[in-house]
Amino acid sequence: MNLKNGYKANRFGVVGRKLKFRSVVLGAFLILSFDFSTSAAHALKIMTMDAPGLKTLQELLSLVQLRAEEGPASSPVEYFDYKSFAANAKSLTIITFDDLNRGNGVLNGKEYVSKGLRITERSGSPINVFSAKDSGYFYPTNFNSQPNGISSSSGVNFDCPGCSDSFDFVLSTPATAAGLWIGNLNGSTEVQFLASDGSVIASEVLDENHKGVISNGAALWDNRVFYGVTSNQPIARIRTTNPASDGDGVVYDDIQFGSANRPQSITVKPKNDRKRGRPLRR
Ligand SMILES: [Ca+2]
Ligand SMILES: [Ca+2]
């Protein structure tokens, strides 16, 4: 009954699929269906059963152990709580911008290519590196790591309401976990996680009232929010859209990417019943 011999899959790969195997131990024919599309860490449904000699379903289950690593039950999974994201990701590369000299138009977007990230502002606006103390509209809360973040509409003693903050964060190697922080929300910023073929893996419109927003209260925009995704389909690009002339400028910080925690292969095996001195065979 060791499924590894005939059926290898992680928990993300078995949605809706049925597994059919001959149980030598039980001398019975079982059809099990594993359904991991639910929110539960794992779920086992017995769809049909023809197991002569078994008295109860519980008796069958006592012979079967399902072992699966705890983790996201579906894919993709969105996170607006950083701790949850970090708990489901590993080997994260985090781009903090804190190693850069501040200034307007100083980021050419290739600074972090060696770390696997290229940055563009899609309208071609200059990219500014700045901190809360450089702008009267920004607060330390807006930056997830101090002191710096990036923006096109704001910068060092600089405010450009007619500049968009629509960025592409392009990953050299598509990643199964990625996320970013957005600060100074006072309007809508759309974030899309895109696959290599351009398809949208996950997207969300974020504003100052969104779930997960951290606020400090000095102003409506004294805030920031995290949005991250883990996905079986690798993420090649994080795309943000914050239009020009919408009365809202934002700062991006701590762009990050790595690997989603993968569940182990599922192993179903008969429970060792010998301790109770009772043979499995009937
Ligand atoms: Ca920072
Ligand atoms: Ca804007």
CATH number of the domain encompassing residue 250: 2.60.120
Q: 204 CA to middle of ligand 1, Å?
A: 22
Instruction: For residue 281, tell me if it sits in a domain.
Output: no
Residue 16 clears pLDDT 50, i.e. is over it: no
**Neighbouring residues of the ion ligand 1, judged by CB less than 5 Å:** 96-98, 145, 148, 253
Is there a single domain that holds both residue 63 and residue 96?
no
Is there a single domain that holds both residue 130 and residue 27?
no
Instruction: For residue 273, tell me if it sits in a domain.
Output: no
Q: How many domains does the chain have?
A: 2
pLDDT tens, residue by residue, 88-144: 999 999 999 999 999 999 999 999 999 999 999 999 999 999 999 999 999 999 999
Instruction: For residue 174, tell me if it sits in a domain.
Output: yes
Q: Model-level pTM greater than 0.75? A: no
Q: 50 CA to middle of ligand 1, Å?
A: 60
Task: Say which range, 31-35, 166-170, 183-187, 221-225, has the weakest mean pLDDT.
Answer: 31-35
| Nearest ligand, measured from the Cα of 163 | 2
Task: Say which range, 19-28, 115-124, 268-277, has the weakest mean pLDDT.
Answer: 19-28
Last residue of a domain, one of 73, 93, 117: 73
Q: 214 CA to middle of ligand 1, Å?
A: 16
The answer to whether 76 touches 231, Cβ cutoff 8 Å, is yes
Is there a single domain that holds both residue 66 and residue 105?
no
Cα 250 to the center of its chain, rounded Å: 22
Q: What pLDDT does 262 receive?
A: 72
pLDDT tens, residue by residue, 162-204: 999 999 999 999 999 999 999 999 999 999 999 999 999 999 9
pLDDT tens, residue by residue, 246-256: 999 999 999 99
Task: Say which range, 125-129, 236-240, 251-255, 259-263, has the weakest mean pLDDT.
Answer: 259-263
| Residue 263 DSSP code | P
| Half-sphere CA count of 267, side-chain side, radius 13 A | 7
Q: 153 CA to middle of ligand 2, Å?
A: 7
Residue 31, amino acid? I
| Nearest ligand, measured from the Cα of 130 | 1
Is there a single domain that holds both residue 205 and residue 132?
yes
User: Can you read off the two tokens belonging to residue 111?
Assistant: 């600074």
Backbone angles phi, psi at 75, to 5 degrees: -145, 135
Is there a single domain that holds both residue 8 and residue 66?
yes
Is there a single domain that holds both residue 113 and residue 159?
yes
pLDDT tens, residue by residue, 36-81: 443 333 434 443 344 455 445 555 455 444 434 444 457 999 999 9
